Amino acid sequence: MPTAAVKVEPRRVIPVAGSPKVFPVRRVYCIGRNYADHAREMGGNPEREAPFFFMKPADAVLPVAEGSTTVLPYPPGTEDFHHEVELVVALKSGGRDISEKEALSHIYGIAVGLDMTRRDLQGQSKDKRQPWENGKAADFSAPCGPLTRLAGQRALLKKSAISLSVNGKPRQNSALTAMIWSIPEQIAILSKFYELKAGDLIFTGTPAGVGSVVRGDVLEAAVAGSAGALVPIKLKVA
């Protein structure tokens, strides 16, 4: 058995609500423009075109613990650092060609997350027809709160609103049911292109109201409704 030539950081883990267990992150998939109102604000067409996905590096995940204010480092190279609040889905199993019908059975839990974006760099990439990493894959660009087990809690997906405030002022708010591509559809489509596996996260898109933050801003994000709530998250940009 060869030994490692260099020491590397262990895999990122995110907390599990009400449990001493943690969830190890394998891959981070993200869907683009998945709420019609956000597609419009980005100058896109909210009609149901085939969805597109991008990835963030797994070590871009910034775990956010319950009841704490987590420091979110302002990344280098940008003057337009945007918040995108998103529901995050965490898989306990996977496979290829997963059917929509069985898709939810692969989910371990769901959480509140942020797809933090260097919007100016993303815009430059779009203009130059270059890849999106500079915009989307910054260190710490995927804050994620504690996971709530989905088993027995599927009503959360139908009856919750997702929201984000900055310094106490509401910025984003939408029903989760306003997604253009549902969570089962996202899992089914992704699994046609990749073999999904336990440990994978899917950031399921953001509603309208994205905007920039500066150092010192406090972001609070939640998913809540008549069927209950996920653990809310709070971060301070530094």
Place of tokens 């029903």: 175
The residue among 115 and 220 lying less far from Mn ion, judged by its C-beta, is 115
**How far apart are CB 156 and Mn ion at their closest, in Å?**
20
CA dihedral 196, 3, 13, 32 (to 10 degrees): -40
- Closest-CA residue to 48 (of 187, 185, 194): 185
**Contact with Mn ion (CB under 5 A): which of 84, 114, 119, 166?**
84
The residue number with the shortest CB distance to Mn ion is 115
Of 50-58, 95-103, 115-123, 188-196, which segment contacts Mn ion by CB under 5 A? 115-123
C-alpha 10/C-alpha 33 separation (Å) is 32
The amino acid at residue 158 is: K
The residue among 78 and 206 lying less far from Mn ion, judged by its C-beta, is 206
Q: Give yes or no for residue 115 binding Mn ion (CB under 5 A).
A: yes
**How far apart are CB 154 and Mn ion at their closest, in Å?**
23
Beta strands in the chain (DSSP E): 13-15, 22-24, 28-31, 53-56, 61-63, 70-72, 81-83, 85-91, 107-114, 117-118, 142-144, 148-149, 160-166, 169-175, 201-203, 211-213, 218-225, 228-229, 233-237
The residue among 162 and 237 lying less far from Mn ion, judged by its C-beta, is 162
Q: Give yes or no for residue 60 binding Mn ion (CB under 5 A).
A: no
Q: Give yes or no for residue 144 binding Mn ion (CB under 5 A).
A: no
Of 98-106, 159-167, 198-206, 229-237, which segment contacts Mn ion by CB under 5 A? 198-206
The residue among 88 and 107 lying less far from Mn ion, judged by its C-beta, is 88
**Contact with Mn ion (CB under 5 A): which of 206, 210, 221, 223?**
206
C-alpha 98/C-alpha 104 separation (Å) is 10
| Residue ranges binding Mn ion (CB under 5 A) | 84, 115, 206
